[in-house]
Structure formats: structure tokens, C-alpha cells
Amino acid sequence: MNKERRKKIDKAIEEVNQLQEALEGLQQIVEEIRDEEQEYLENIPENLQGSERYETAENAVESLENAVDWFDNVDIDELISALEESKGD
């Protein structure tokens, strides 16, 4: 691999590192929202636990949990490793 393409890969790695920081911040926001919605769900009075409001909150918590799982499955280190390996250093 030539020097120019290696520089492009280095730039890509820098951008991936910035992306990782942004994703970590977003994950934290989503986790906070999930936790707040879970708390709201747990505090809905018992007589409303079969209501549409309860069901909506329950679905929101589940969807937010799926979003958190997505963040957990992103493997930035593997991406960076593949990029580093491609340079053939």
C-alpha cells in the first residue's frame, strides 16, 4: 500500500475514533431516557397497569432497550483493527 492510501486510512481511523466518542455520548442519552421511562412505568398506579398509557410506556422501554443493545453490539475496535491491518505495517 502506498503512502497516500495509508494517510487516508489514518484519517478514516481518526474519524472512527470521533464517531466512537459520539456514539458513547448518544448511548448515554438513550440509557438515561430508558431509565426515566422505566421509572415512569414502575410508578404507574396499579389500576392503570392494563391501560393504553401503560402499554405505550412499556413499548417505549422495550424499544429503548433494543437501541441500547444496538450500541453495545457496535464493535469500533474491530473496525479500527481491520483498518490498521489493511495498511500492512
Q: Is the pLDDT of residue 80 over 80?
A: yes
Q: What percent of the chain has pLDDT over 90?
A: 90
Q: What is the pLDDT of residue 31?
A: 98
Q: Which residues contact 61 (CB under 8 A, 6 or more apart)?
A: 34, 37, 38, 41
* Residue reference for cell 458513547: 24
Q: Is the pLDDT of residue 88 over 90?
A: no
Number of domains making up the chain: 1
Q: Answer for the pair 12, 83: CB distance below 8 angstroms, yes or no.
A: yes
Check residue 43 and report its DSSP letter: T
pLDDT confidence tier of residue 12, bands split at 50, 70 and 90? very high
What's the domain range around 56? 3-87
Is the pLDDT at 79 greater than 80? The verdict is yes
| Average pLDDT of the residues in 10-27 | 96
Spatial CB neighbours of 37, under 8 Å, sequence gap ≥ 6? 57, 60, 61, 64
